[in-house]
Amino acid sequence: MELRETLIGSEYFFHGMINVRLDQVRTPNGSIAQRVVAEHPGAAAIVTVNQDGRLVLVRQYRHPIGRELLEIPAGKLDGGEPPEQCAVRELSEETGLQPVELLELGKIVTAPGFCNEGITLFFARGVPQQGAKASQDADEFIEIELLEVEQAFSAITQGQIIDAKT
């Protein structure tokens, strides 16, 4: 059975940092359905291990879920920016660190039921234990945390790390 839906039409109802549209589609059985789609420019995230083998994470408050999250450094692609450039930029802005070696791990989608956001994941090795002063955005308030890999796995199983990309 063909599972693909056929687009009949779209109507945008929000333009901003993301765009939101309402699509009308024909389903595989021929019926008509509506799909809300959030268009996102994409993002990059970077798993970073410093020279002493600890993971570099950032803690920040996330308003939509009303709590602080412990995450890998990440951010939205800026106007056609290549994902690897975004990953290096975000690592520098959020932590002050620069990777010595950068390896692309692959791409994930975050919420494919309503959003087309893809995040390209990278792995950075050989970063110094401390970097230059971070240059966070004016509305970003971030704390850097270094965790042993075992501590990170424990934080995941205890519900302290719940961010999907992390």
Question: How high is the pLDDT of residue 136?
Answer: 61
Question: How high is the pLDDT of residue 138?
Answer: 72
Domain ranges of the chain: 6-39, 43-157
Residue type, 140: E
Question: How high is the pLDDT of residue 134?
Answer: 60
Of the candidates 100, 94, 105, which has an alpha carbon nearest to the alpha carbon of residue 72? 94
Q: Can you give the pLDDT of all 166 residues of the chain as single tens digits?
A: 889 999 999 999 999 989 999 999 999 999 999 999 999 999 999 999 988 889 999 999 999 999 999 999 999 999 889 999 999 999 999 999 999 889 999 999 999 999 999 999 999 987 776 655 566 667 778 999 999 999 999 999 999 999 999 9
Give domain 43-157's CATH number out of 3.40.50.720, 3.90.79.10, 3.40.50.300, 2.20.25.90.
3.90.79.10
164 neighbors 72 (Cβ within 8 angstroms): no
80 neighbors 91 (Cβ within 8 angstroms): no
pTM of the model: 0.89
